[in-house]
Amino acid sequence: MIGFEVLARDGAARRGRLTTAHGGVETPAFMPVGTAGTVKAMTPEGVAATGARIVLGNTYHLMLRPGAERIAALGGLHRFMNWPHAILTDSGGFQVMSLAARRTIAEAGVTFRSHLDGSLYELTPERSIAIQHLLGADITMALDECTPYPAPPEAVENSMELSMRWAERSHLAFVERPGHGIFGIVQGGVHPDLRLRSATKLTAIGFDGYAVGGLAIGEGQTTTFAVLDATVPALPEHRPRYLMGVGKPADLVGAVSRGIDMFDCVLPTRSGRTAQAFTRRGVVNLRNARHADDPAPLDPECPCPACTNYSRAYLHHLSRAGEILGSMLLTAHNLQYYADLMTTMRAAIEAGSFPAFVTAFESEG
C-alpha cells in the first residue's frame, strides 16, 4: 500500500504527502506525462529539476512497444527510463477506447488492433494489472471504459457499470507490496447520480486512491467542475484523489479548490513543442513576430533554463526555424510553470490563504 496523509486544509483544498516505494510526492501534484517511457523533449534529470517527483507512463503504448516483458527483463520501467522517483501508469483504457473502429468491447475486456502494425491484442483487467506489475509502477490504475461524450444516459450507465465490474477484477488481480498501490476510477459521464453510484461502488471495493476519469473530453470547464462538486465529497477523506487528463492552469486551480490532489495532462509538453509558453501573465506564442527583437526573458520570475539563459528573441528564432532546442527549452519552461503553480498552491493552503491566492490568480488570468 502507498501512504497518504493530509497535512493541511483550507476549505476543500488539501495539502498532503503521498509516500511510494520510490519516494514521497507533495500534493497537490502535477504529473508530467511520459507516455512511452519518456517525457517528450526532456531528460529525466531535467524533469526532476522542475521539482516533479512522479511521472505518468502508459500501459497501452508500452505493451505495444517495446513490450512489458522486455521492460521487466531489463529491470523495470524505473531503471529502463532512468527515473528514480515515483511512476503512475495509466491502464490503457483511454487509449484503447480512442481506437474506435479498431476495437471491440466485451465483458471480458477489449480486443483491439494496434495503431502501429494492426496486430490483434486483448486487454482484460487482469492483463492490464499484470502489465503494470511488470513495469513496476508505484501506482497502478484499474482498467476502465472511458465513456464518450456526449452519450445517451443509458449508454453512460451501462459503461459505468462495466467499469465497476472491471474495477473489482482489477483490484483482485493487483499484487499487494509495500509502497505500491492501485487506484479505482470514477465514471458516470456528466450525470451526478451515476458518479455517486460509481464512487460508492469503488469505495466499497477499497482502493488505495480514487481517480475521476471521463472528463476533459469536450464537456467544458463549468460541467467538469459541476461533476467534481458532486463526486469529490463522496470519496474517502484519507485517500488521494486524482483528476485524470486535466488540464489548463485554471482547471487545476479550480479542481484543487474542490479537493483534488493529483493531475496529469499532455498540455504543457505539447504546448512546448508548438511554441506556446505558460507564464504568470498568460499564454505566450513565441512564433509571433513581436518577439523577434525582444531581448527580455520569457518570464523574469521563472528559474527555468529558457528564462534564465535566453531571450524571447532567441526562443522566437528557434521556434520559427524549427530547431529542436526550442521545443526542449519551452517544454522545460512549461513543466516548471506547472510545478511552481503546485508549489504556490501548497504554500497557500498551508498558510490558510488559498482563497486569496485564487482571487489573485483569476485576476492575473
Residues acting as catalytic residues: 90, 264
Q: What is the DSSP string of 50-61?
A: TT--EEEEEHHH
Separation between Cα atoms, residue 173 and residue 161, nearest integer Å: 19
> Residue type for 21, please?
A
Q: Which long-range contacts (CB under 8 A, 24 or more apart) does 108-111 make?
A: 109/143, 109/166, 110/145
Contact between 163 and 145 (Cβ < 8 Å): yes
Q: Please compute Rg for the chain using Cα positions.
A: 20
Separation between Cα atoms, residue 166 and residue 163, nearest integer Å: 5
Look up cell 452519450; give the residue.
151
Contact between 210 and 240 (Cβ < 8 Å): yes
Contacts of 105 (CB under 8 A, 6+ apart): 145, 162
Q: What is the DSSP string of 149-201?
A: SS--HHHHHHHHHHHHHHHHHHHHH----TT-EEEEEE--TT-HHHHHHHHHH
Separation between Cα atoms, residue 212 and residue 255, nearest integer Å: 11
Q: What is the DSSP string of 2-31?
A: -EEEEEEEETTEEEEEEEETTEEEEESEEE
